[in-house]
Structure 1
Amino acid sequence: MDIITTLVGSSWICAVALFAVLGDAFLPLIPSGTLVILAVLNTARIDGAPLMLAAGVAMASFLGDILLLSLARRGAPSVRRRLEHRPQLAASVARVQEALDGRTTGAAAAIVVVARFVPAGRTVLDLAMGHSPSHPRKFLRWSALAALIWAAYIVTLGWLNSHWFDTAWLSLAVSCAAATTISAAVARVVRRNRRLATV
């Protein structure tokens, strides 16, 4: 009975987390990682919940990519306006397009996976592929792989901390701090490599 009560009581945060993961392709400021960790902490006592949540997160992440990619490829007015009014975003999209062109399959796949761990990287990548003349089929395969890797990473992070610490608030704080630190480190490496490439 306790497990059923926990499951029902936690279902709302799981739903919110999945919608956040789906939506942060469009609005990268949504704290989807934090919400997923919160969902993990709320379902940690339920057998099999982390695996189910990871599968849901991966699917939501992949669907978000498909939606934004489709809108960008169709030339949706909202996407065009977003690029026109945000020159910095447009410049980032152009840089990613240039980085993907002419790369080997492995290098391009690595860019797609790494973008998942960089703040707003997923949005820039989807818009870049949406405006690229190349066929998106390969990108969607890499996107699915990136979604699985990120989902496994963020759910595992929350699950480990839920077992290491006795209190939920400390588990959440440590998990979010670790996720932020890792994202910042990846972003720093990406910026450094970009600077070196232009020298």
Structure 2
Amino acid sequence: MGSAALLTAAGFCALAVLAVLGDAFLPFLPSGTLVVLAVLKSEGVAGAPLVLAAAVALASFLGDVLLLKLARRGAPFLRRRLARRPHLAASVRRVQHALDGRTSRTAATVVIVARFVPGGRTVLDLAMGHLPHQSRAFLRWSALSALIWAGYIVALGWLDLHVFSTVWLSLAVSSLAATAVSTVVARVARRHRRLSVVAPLVEPAGPTPLGDAA
């Protein structure tokens, strides 16, 4: 791979990592799509999938930490956002009530599942910001869910890269596959009592490309 191609691959990887970091605040960002595209564009770079997965997991976790701290401090822009979006505020209150007092295992499952539901990560971060007694445990669950999601989305791009002959066909198949996964996760959450708190998070926004990041 030439120097120009390396710079292009590095640029896509940097953009993907920044999108993953930012989609805790802006869940409409197509972070999953950009991660898959970064995998496809870095074809031929030794160790690129592993490095990208680690960077994506770290960015996802740091995004949670930043939003959690801002929510805990009552950042003015978050208060304005909740005031302008009563449905989001209601979802945050519902999650707070549902998670407060839950067992550690159940809460961890909810955090991991929400990573795959559009908008779930944002609502959970905002809710946990007002449950300070659970914040340490939440950070552990967030780190685990970030690793799982990063491994999943990078592996999806890597597998498609080795199955299909073109970048855009691989990207299209990855998008369809990940959207299907998000849809299945949402339906399972609605039917499972322990995870029912996650289901309402998908109602206002609908599916987004490659689900939500983590």
1:102 Cα deviation from its structure 2 partner:
1.7
Who is 1:37 aligned against?
36
2:19–2:29 contact (8 Å) kept in structure 1: yes
**What is the aligned length?**
197
1:4 Cα deviation from its structure 2 partner:
4.4
Who is 2:207 aligned against?
none
Who is 1:171 aligned against?
170
Deviates more, 1:34-43 or 1:182-191: 182-191
Tell me which of the two structures has the higher relative contact order, counting C-alpha pairs closer than 8 angstroms and 6 or more residues apart: 2
- What's the C-alpha RMSD, in Å, of the aligned pairs? 1.8
Residue 158 (structure 1) aligned with residue 164 (structure 2) = no
Who is 1:82 aligned against?
81
Deviates more, 1:182-191 or 1:80-89: 182-191
Who is 2:18 aligned against?
19
Q: Over residues 146-192 of structure 1, what are the superposed CA-to-partner deviations in whole Å (9 max), with x where a residue is unaligned?
A: 00000000000000000000111110000011111111211222233
1:41–1:159 contact (8 Å) kept in structure 2: yes
What percent identity do the matched residue pairs reach? 67
Query: Mapping of 1:121-140 within 5 angstroms?
Result: 121-140=120-139
Residue 184 (structure 1) aligned with residue 179 (structure 2) = no
Report the Cα distance in structure 2 between the residues aligned to 1:52 and 1:94, rounded to whole angstroms: 37
1:69 Cα deviation from its structure 2 partner:
0.4
Secondary structure class of the residue paired with 1:46: coil
Who is 2:119 aligned against?
120
2:190–2:196 contact (8 Å) kept in structure 1: no
1:133 Cα deviation from its structure 2 partner:
3.9
Secondary structure class of the residue paired with 1:170: helix
Q: Over residues 22-55 of structure 1, what are the superposed CA-to-partner deviations in whole Å (9 max), with x where a residue is unaligned?
A: 0000000000000000000011221110000000
TM-score (norm 1): 0.94
1:85 Cα deviation from its structure 2 partner:
1.3
Any unmatched runs of 5+ in structure 1?
none
Following TM superposition, the consecutive aligned residue runs of length 4 or more in structure 1 with deviations greater than 4 angstroms are: none
With over 3 angstroms needed to count, the CA separation of the structure-2 counterparts of 1:197 and 1:7, relative to structure 1, is closer
Q: Which is helix-richer, 1 or 2?
A: 1
